Structures are given as C-alpha cells and as structure tokens.
C-alpha cells in the first residue's frame, strides 16, 4: 500500500537542523504513527511521503514555510514580571501556557531583565530549515474511528 490521504503511516526518523545537529529521533523507540492528510505532521514532510511504501527510505529537507513557519516578530512580547504570580523563579528557557485571543498558546521565556520578561510564542523550530532521514515501516488503512477523530489510535498513536 502506498502512502495517501487517510492512511495510517508509521515512520522512523531522525531530525537535524541546518548545522547537522540532531534535534529529535525515533531511534530506539516506537516509530512515529500519524494519519496522513490530517495535518498531524508538518506539511513539507507529509508531502514528501506521498506515494512511498513500506521499506522506502528518504532524506527530506523542509524549508520554514513548509515546516514550523517563519519567525513572526509579533509573537515576541515583553510582559511585566507580575504576570507570573506564584512563580518564584522565571528564567530563559522556561515554557508556559499563555491565554491569547486565539486560546491557550505555549510561550518560551527568552529574556528576563528586572521586572521585564520577554516571551516568544513562535514554535522553537520556526525559521529553521530542517532535514529528516525517514524510513517507512508501516502503511495501513485508517479505521472509521481514526478518521473521525483525526489521529491514529492504538500502538504508536492516541489512547482514549
């Protein structure tokens, strides 16, 4: 079976950045399972997998616009330290959930200067060119329940 919309796909992958640094990998773990066509993975990788089958190996370079997007400066914001009531220490690298007009959004503390805390709502990989080494290990038809929920169930997927 070839990878197409509504297929459940399991892949092993290694993700590196433009400098060749390993950012993530499924090595030594269960393969990543996703529902193809349901926006479960970034578009650049999903598009490259169309038509592939079990046993296929490929290297994919994904530019920011097909990955986690470009860095959006409007998502970097300075807030007052008082917004972190009850939290004794706020330092760069910490992540929080912020309430935005679009709902909850993860933000990362990038700078703390006195009572000013700079937060970044961009995905940590925004603006980066990413490289994936991928091996397709399973392709199957999705169940009706997986299709209605928009994600994989069972091993390597979501459990309800």
* CATH code for the structural domain at 73-120: 2.40.10.330
Condensed to tens digits (0 to 9), the pLDDT of residues 113-135 reads 999 999 999 999 999 999 999 99
CATH 2.40.10.330 occupies which residues in the chain?
73-120
> In sequence order, what are the beta bridge partners of 140?
8
How far is 119 from 82, CA to CA, in rounded Å?
A: 14
| Stretches in the chain below the pLDDT threshold 50 | 160
CB 38 within 8 A of CB 49: no
23 token code pair? 């950012």
How far is 143 from 123, CA to CA, in rounded Å?
A: 31
Which CATH number applies to 7-68+126-149: 3.40.50.720, 3.30.110.30, 1.20.120.530, 3.10.50.40?
Answer: 3.10.50.40
Q: Report pTM.
A: 0.84
149 phi/psi in degrees, rounded to 5: -90, -20
């Amino acid at each position: 079976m070839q990878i197409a919309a509504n297929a459940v796909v399991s892949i092993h992958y290694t993700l590196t950045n433009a400098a060749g640094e390993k950012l993530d990998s499924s090595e030594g773990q269960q393969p990543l399972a996703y529902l193809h066509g349901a926006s479960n993975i970034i578009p650049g990788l999903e598009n490259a997998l169309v038509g592939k089958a079990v046993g296929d190996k490929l290297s994919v370079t994904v530019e920011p616009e097909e990955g986690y997007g470009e860095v959006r400066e409007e998502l970097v914001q300075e807030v007052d330290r008082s917004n972190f009531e009850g939290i004794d220490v706020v330092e760069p690298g910490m992540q929080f959930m912020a309430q935005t007009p679009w709902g909850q959004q993860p933000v990362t503390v990038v700078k703390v200067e006195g009572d000013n805390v700079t937060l970044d709502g961009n995905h940590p990989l925004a603006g980066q060119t990413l490289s994936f080494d991928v091996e397709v290990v399973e392709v199957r038809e999705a169940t009706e329940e997986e299709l209605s929920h928009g994600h994989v169930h069972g091993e390597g997927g979501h459990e309800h």
